[in-house]
């Protein structure tokens, strides 16, 4: 493998030490790893002693660790344990002493929040309110209002209920609990009830709307049930007689019904919408919203009416302008492609994808010389569209590593930074969440050169995800050794060999999925380096003849092993077509099958840039570019992107 050599152009600024009253002394600056090794062992002993309740031994170790950069973590955990077990003593004093002593630590705000939550759960309203003004106290409007209500500071009122139902976060547990208390004391008006129902239904959260039936009379309950059914089964309710009357609420329901319908049956929704869009007295904004939703869905589905529906929109935004181009691309209307790109605002027109498709359109229209000029500009960039442009010209890829080195001055400034020392100790002790929070505090006000230095140092520590995130905030995108590290190489090579996969592709997927954060969890529930959904992981594990628990998925070996097996699975599904398999890893095989052309073959570059899901479109482009860059870093023959992108055929 190629070694990641580093070189720094010119760094003029010296990294400043963060303002921190607890900056380390000169003696501490010079401490080596071997000096800290003893304290790390003692730290881990103390953690185990706290977990097993051996508090005397724990306290002795904490006392011996006085001065260790993250000894406050142990004190924090000790106080939390006392809170959870209600161990007695003056817990508030312990909390406030900790917060005062370690106010510069991310742990201070966390502990104060936990203590306020404990006070709230205990119903100690006045104590909760007393801490609301603390500088580190976060805002929690519904809890504060609940405490004020329970302690008599404010009285129940229709205005208070309105603020909770309509203004505050409507899904927060504390807000729902406060609303339940208020509606037992204040009768909500029908107007307020329907305002809340409309807010809920506009979000598509029909399950949260059902409990609102208790505030409605029999007729209005039927109306709400109709709305919920029209949302859930829009096609079945297309000609529902109850929706024929042109009332304000029916207009809202019919508009939402057609937008929802178009998400899975664009042609049917479009056909029916054309028959009703002028039957009701929709407001201009509501009619325009549905027109836009349906126009985009017809474009996603590549319907013949898509171009006309997009052209008929009164106003365009970045999304509708982009899909106007994509519809023209799908239909090989190259002159329309050029015209649509020319109509883009300059900031959009200069993006690499539209520069590439402008060049492709010129080439297809016989303007080869102009196309080459555009291709040459793009080919100087080591990006997806840059690689495609280089392929059109049959020139080499502009890949080079310009990773920086750390000057002695910058290294000294950074390694003596107290927050940097704390972040590193958290990282080395496996306290990943706390390490990232400490790192965030360290780098939040860094300039580009400071971020580059921090990224370089993090890479030297083996903390690759922080190196990636730090360098990603700078314009220095040719720092390939920092942006594309190769951790877990033994696991990746073994899994690739076992599943007959390219290691560079596995790395490309992993880099895009997690940025090498082993314990990351997405909002959707995907876990670990290869971002596996628990059900997918269990399915793959069963195929492999093994069992897996959700907690196992943050283990690097388990996650890479299952992820590699699933990559082979989707690759088999699509006859070794790497582009389709990459899309399937992100969006699922069934969705990708639904995106395949109906009859004729489609050029892969055109297919990728017209994928209906923006996330998947960006994902595929990123993974293909990353695969190329990892292949280069591994000193293999760089496979041209065009070799990976054979034509896309119908199912």
pLDDT (tens digit per residue) in 240-293: 999 999 999 999 999 999 999 999 999 999 999 999 999 999 999 999 999 999
Q: What is this structure's pTM?
A: 0.91
Mean pLDDT of 615-631: 98
Residue 7 has pLDDT above 90, yes or no: no
Residue 411: predicted pLDDT: 84
Quickly count helices (H) and strands (E) in the chain: 38, 0
Which residues are registered as beta bridge partners of 648? 602
Q: How far is CA 572 from CA 565, 580, 620, in A?
A: 11, 10, 17
Count Cβ neighbours within 10 Å for each residue of 229-239 and write b for 16 or more, e otherwise.
bbbeebbebbe
Residue 15: predicted pLDDT: 34
Residue 35 has pLDDT above 80, yes or no: no
Backbone φ/ψ region at 474: left (φ over 0), alpha (ψ -120 to 50), beta? beta
Q: 540-587: per-residue pLDDT in tens?
A: 999 999 999 999 999 999 999 999 999 999 999 999 999 999 999 999
Q: Which of 609, 644, 623 is nearest to 512 (CA)?
A: 623
Which residues are registered as beta bridge partners of 532? 527
Q: How far is CA 536 from CA 184, 491, 563, in A?
A: 45, 20, 9
Residue 192 has pLDDT above 70, yes or no: yes
CB 504, CB 634: distance < 8 Å: yes
Contacts of 408 (CB under 8 A, 6+ apart): none
Residue 10: predicted pLDDT: 27
Please count the residues of the chain: 651
Across 1-10, 19-28, 468-477, the highest mean pLDDT is recorded for 468-477
Residue 31: predicted pLDDT: 52
> How far is 306 from 374, CA to CA, in rounded Å?
29
Count Cβ neighbours within 10 Å for each residue of 170-207 and write b for 16 or more, e otherwise.
beeebbbebbeebbeebebeeebbbebbbebbeeeebe
> How far is 499 from 564, CA to CA, in rounded Å?
7
| The token pair that represents 360 in the structure block | 């492709």
Q: 459-468: per-residue pLDDT in tens?
A: 999 999 999 9
For the stretch 95-104, contacts whose Cβ atoms lie closer than 8 Å and that sit 24 or more positions apart, written own/partner, are: 98/72, 99/134, 99/136, 101/72, 102/72, 102/75, 102/76, 103/136, 104/20, 104/21, 104/22
Q: How far is CA 362 from CA 184, 357, 367, 372, in A?
A: 69, 8, 5, 9
> How far is 528 from 539, CA to CA, in rounded Å?
16
The pLDDT confidence band at residue 410, using thresholds 50, 70 and 90, is confident
Residue 30 has pLDDT above 60, yes or no: no
- The whole-chain average pLDDT of the chain stands at 92
Q: 207-249: per-residue pLDDT in tens?
A: 999 999 999 999 999 999 999 999 999 999 999 999 999 999 9
């Amino acid at each position: 493998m190629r070694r990641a050599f580093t070189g720094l152009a010119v760094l003029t600024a010296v990294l400043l030490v963060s303002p921190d009253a607890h900056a380390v002394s000169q003696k501490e600056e010079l401490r080596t790893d071997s000096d800290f090794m003893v304290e790390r062992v003692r730290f881990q002993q103390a953690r185990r002693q706290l977990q097993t309740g051996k508090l005397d031994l724990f306290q002795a170790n904490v006392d011996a660790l006085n001065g260790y950069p993250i000894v406050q973590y142990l004190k924090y955990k000790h106080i939390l344990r006392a809170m959870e077990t209600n161990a007695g003593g003056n817990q508030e004093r312990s909390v406030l002493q900790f917060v005062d002593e370690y106010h510069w630590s991310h742990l201070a705000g966390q502990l104060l929040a936990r203590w306020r939550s404990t006070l709230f759960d205990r119903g100690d309203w006045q104590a909760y309110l007393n801490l609301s003004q603390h500088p580190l106290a976060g805002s929690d409007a519904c809890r504060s209002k609940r405490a004020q209500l329970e302690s008599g500071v404010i009285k129940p009122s229709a205005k208070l209920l309105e603020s909770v139902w309509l203004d505050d976060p409507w899904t927060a547990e504390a807000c729902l609990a406060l609303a339940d208390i208020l509606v037992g004391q204040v009768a909500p008006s029908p107007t307020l009830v329907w305002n809340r129902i409309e807010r809920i239904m506009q979000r598509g959260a029909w399950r949260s709307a059902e409990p609102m039936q208790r505030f409605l009379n029999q007729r209005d309950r039927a109306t709400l049930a109709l709305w919920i059914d029209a949302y859930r089964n829009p096609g079945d309710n297309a000609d529902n007689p109850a929706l024929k009357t042109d009332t304000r609420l029916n207009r809202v329901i019919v508009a939402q019904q057609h937008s929802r319908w178009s998400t899975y049956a664009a042609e049917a929704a479009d056909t029916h919408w054309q028959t009703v869009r002028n039957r009701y007295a929709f407001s201009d904004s509501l009619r325009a919203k549905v027109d836009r939703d349906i126009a985009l869905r017809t474009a996603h589905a590549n319907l013949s009416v898509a171009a006309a529906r997009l052209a008929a929109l009164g106003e365009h935004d970045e999304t509708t302008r982009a899909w106007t181009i994509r519809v023209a691309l799908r239909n090989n209307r190259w002159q329309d492609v050029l015209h649509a790109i020319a109509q883009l605002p300059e900031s959009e027109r200069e993006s690499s994808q539209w520069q590439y498709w402008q060049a492709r359109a010129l080439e297809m229209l016989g303007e080869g010389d102009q196309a080459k000029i555009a291709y040459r500009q793009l080919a100087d960039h080591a990006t997806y569209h840059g690689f495609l442009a280089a392929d059109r010209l049959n020139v080499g890829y502009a890949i080079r590593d310009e990773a920086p080195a750390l000057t002695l001055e910058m290294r000294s400034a950074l390694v003596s930074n107290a927050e940097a020392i704390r972040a590193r100790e958290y990282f080395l002790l496996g306290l990943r969440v706390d390490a990232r929070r400490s790192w965030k505090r360290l780098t939040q006000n860094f300039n580009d050169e400071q971020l580059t230095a921090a990224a370089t140092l993090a890479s030297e520590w083996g903390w690759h995800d922080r190196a990636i995130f730090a360098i990603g905030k700078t314009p220095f995108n040719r720092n390939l050794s920092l942006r594309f590290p190769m951790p877990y190489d033994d696991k990746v090579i073994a899994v690739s060999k076992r599943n007959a996969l390219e290691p560079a592709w596995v790395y490309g997927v992993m880099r895009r999925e997690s940025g090498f954060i082993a314990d990351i969890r997405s909002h959707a529930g995907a876990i670990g380096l290869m971002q596996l959904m628990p059900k997918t992981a269990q399915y793959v594990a069963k195929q492999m003849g093994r069992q897996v628990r959700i907690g196992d998925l943050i283990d690097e070996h388990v996650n890479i092993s299952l992820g590699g097996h699933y990559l082979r699975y989707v690759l088999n599904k699509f006859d070794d077509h790497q582009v389709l398999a990459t899309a399937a890893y992100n969006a699922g095989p069934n969705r990708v099958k639904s995106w395949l052309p109906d009859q004729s073959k489609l050029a892969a570059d055109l297919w990728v840039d017209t994928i209906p899901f923006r996330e998947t479109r960006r994902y595929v482009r990123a993974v293909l570019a990353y695969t190329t860059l990892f292949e280069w870093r591994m000193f293999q023959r760089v496979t041209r992107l065009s070799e990976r992108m054979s034509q896309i055929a119908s199912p």
